[in-house]
A and B are shown apart, each in its own frame.
Chain A
Amino acid sequence: MNGVNLSMSDKAETNSPILQVRDLKMHFPVKEGIFLRTGKYNKAVDGVSFDIQPGETMGLVGESGCGKSTLGRCITRLYKPTAGSIVFEDKDITNISGRELKPYRQDIQMIFQDPMESLNSRHTVGDILMEPFIVQNIGDKQYRQKRVKELLEIVGLPSRSITRYPFEFSGGQRQRIGIARSIALNPKLIVCDEPVSALDVSIQSQILNLLIELQREFNLSYLFIAHDLAVVKHISDRIAIMYLGKVVESSDGESVYREAKHPYTQSLISAIPVPDPHRKADRQILVGDVPSPINPPDGCTFHTRCPKAMDSCSNKSPQLVSLPEKTQHKVSCHLYE
């Protein structure tokens, strides 16, 4: 890595979290009937709380449709949350908009699963990387050109890429372009929404190595969303498991993997395919209805599929509480109350 100056924040904030999310909710209205009246809500994110420290990665895993991307979009303030709060470096950004939001558009960035969707295919890579500087009105033309070259170098792309278009690159290279753009303005927090899911394993590990290197170099914080627990565990300091809009378990990566408590986490781990044909695992396959966030089940939302469900699970909602033996390990399940 070369010595590009992506200046780190020099405020003394070593012990305060960079991001504090409290009881965050994002409810989408569901339109029904011929008058498109809004009756029900899709409770995509329904009361999520966590902190991220500077230089830390929090991993987020969970069922498809459980609200991971929506949570990420609330934090980057692409969405305005329905309720709860998002505090970034001691400033409440939950409801701010317009001019007030502008500095946070610089500090908080997002990387998407499919860079093709987020990269304008009619612009050259040079234009794409130049854009954040223009939007934020930073530097003159010469400075911007210098920075674009530096960015390409950081993410390992040849400088002649500047004149090329995104479709001329492979999936892995496009993801590098997306990463280069996301770090252009020296962000402090990056929401990575399945950044490696579409890539084959050798390219996937190149990108993971790059993200880890950038984090070390610039003290970046990540919220890292993915389906592959091995990938998430590799890059994360802590992991939160989500199910139907709520966090059901969270702890450091090692504990989530080795001492999983929530039955959903346990089935998630048991379902991971192992790259060894001799170990065709005798896995626990979930049966039962996959619930919808529009009509979530009463009680614990996992009870319709839970192999350990008890009577109380279908009428009483469990709370996310710390385990007595380990306060950083939290779980939301009646088995541990």
Chain B
Amino acid sequence: MSDALLSVDNLITEFETDEGRVRAVDDISFSVQPGETLGIVGESGCGKSVTALSIMRLLPQPMGQIVGGEIKLNGEDLTKLKLSQMEKIRGNKIGMVFQEPMTALNPVHTVGRQLAEVLYLHKDISKDQALRECLEMLDKVGIPSPDVRMGEYPHQLSGGMRQRVVIAMALACQPSLLIADEPTTALDVTIQAQILELIKELQNDMGMAVMLITHDLGVIAETSNSVVVMYAGKVAEQGNVYEIFDNPSHPYTRGLLDSIPKLETVPKSELSTIEGMVPGLLDLPVGCRFENRCPRRKESCKAAPPPIEVIAGSHQVSCYEWSKSVNE
């Protein structure tokens, strides 16, 4: 799609490790439209954070490398930019909330100073104005007594508060794209709702797009327009949120949706799960990567990786047996 804000095409990211090269992200493609939210879900270790870090060009160096594909922001290929050019884009056009909030905060500087710095660096405003905007931002993300907290160091805040500071920093410059990696996992649902609402407001007011990584399918259903389901470095299924939730077509997606504990289930009854373990990146199967755990596996699934097929509209799946999965 040409009008996409972000379009990731055939991205491949690899790591150099002691035991050899591993391909953490293997030929994935998706796009994000202005103002929309794209949700990314998938098993722990399937490459969600590595995808985000690839877009930000913040892969651990020198081990991590983008070895193929394009990442276009407003048509400009980020993989081709010099790091100095990329620095201007980070924090300004793209804001990121990292999975580990401590990594984004400098332990020796006060919260206020770090937040003001972001504004001061990217916006043409006075120090006073930067401070005022900081207070406003901290207040918006639900930090009590923001004036006191501005003078505190990261270690003096509870985990949930640190997370909110990081969210405030990412939103401070009103980026056109927010990449949020598990932004609300450490927060209780009332604060989570407050922050998701704040993000929604910014989307409505300024057309900010969001790439949201989370394992909470409730949050995905509620916030996302489209969804990418990843498994072992590949896209298993993608589509708009209704296509994914109403008509999950990859056996992995179905397994995920079936595993959600619901408020209505009988307490202590056995929850449905996906048996088995994800294959390691060093010994990936030749065929479908879900093959060792899949309830619909056929002998032929082991032979070669299933191609990506279009089901309808934006709905795509990578499974030989998807049509059998659907009508059940």
A-to-B contact residues, CB < 8 Å: 61-65, 170-173, 197-206, 208-209, 212, 227-231, 233-237, 253-254, 257, 264, 267-268, 271-281, 283, 285-286, 289-292, 295
Contact = CB atoms under 8 A, between A and B. Distances in A.
B187 A171 contact: no
Contacts of A173: 277
Interface in B124-175: 142-145, 158-161
Contact of A267 (B42, B158, B190, B241): B190
Interface stretch (B108-116, B255-263, B294-302): B255-263
Contacts of B158: 64-65
Given A271-B193, A280-B222, A227 B263 contact: no
A33 to B, nearest CB: 13
B261 A208 contact: yes
Contacts of A295: 145
A234 B259 contact: no
Instruction: Identify which of B142, B189, B216, B246 gathers the most chain A CB atoms within 10 Å of its CB.
Output: B189
A276 B279 CA distance: 30
Interface of B: 41-45, 142-145, 158-161, 185-194, 197, 215-222, 241-242, 245-246, 255-257, 259-263, 265, 267-274, 277-278
B218 A272 contact: yes
Given A173-B277, A229-B263, A208 B44 contact: no
A236 B267 CA distance: 7
A202 B43 contact: yes
A275 B160 contact: no
A234 B222 contact: no
Contact of A205 (B245, B261, B277): B261
A46 to B, nearest CB: 16
A97 B143 CA distance: 38
16 contacts: A65-B161, A171-B44, A172-B44, A197-B186, A198-B44, A199-B215, A227-B187, A229-B263, A230-B262, A233-B263, A234-B269, A254-B267, A273-B222, A277-B246, A281-B222, A292-B145
Given A200-B215, A273-B222, A170 B278 contact: yes
B261 A170 contact: no
Given A202-B255, A273-B221, A64 B191 contact: yes
A233 B267 contact: yes
Given A202-B256, A234-B268, A286-B190, 14 more contacts: A63-B188, A64-B158, A201-B261, A202-B255, A205-B259, A205-B261, A208-B271, A228-B189, A230-B263, A234-B265, A235-B267, A285-B197, A290-B144, A291-B144
Given A200-B42, A273-B216, A63 B271 contact: no
A290 B158 CA distance: 13
Contacts of B257: 275
Contact of B189 (A254, A271, A277): A271
B190 A170 contact: no
A286 B194 contact: yes
A276 B245 contact: yes
A268 B221 contact: no
A231 B217 CA distance: 14
A279 B262 CA distance: 15
Nearest to B160: A64
Contacts of B188: 61-64, 227, 268
Contacts of A235: 267-268
Given A63-B188, A200-B44, A201-B260, A253 B267 contact: yes
Sorted from nearest, which 8 A-B pairs have the closest CB atoms? A64-B160, A273-B218, A205-B271, A65-B158, A200-B215, A271-B193, A271-B189, A202-B274
A282 to B, nearest CB: 11
A227 B273 contact: no
Contacts of B45: 170-171
A292 B158 CA distance: 11
Contacts of A267: 190
B93 to A, nearest CB: 28
B44 A277 contact: no
A209 B270 contact: yes
A63 B191 CA distance: 8
Contact of A275 (B144, B191, B217): B217
B271 to A, nearest CB: 4
Contacts of B268: 212, 234-235
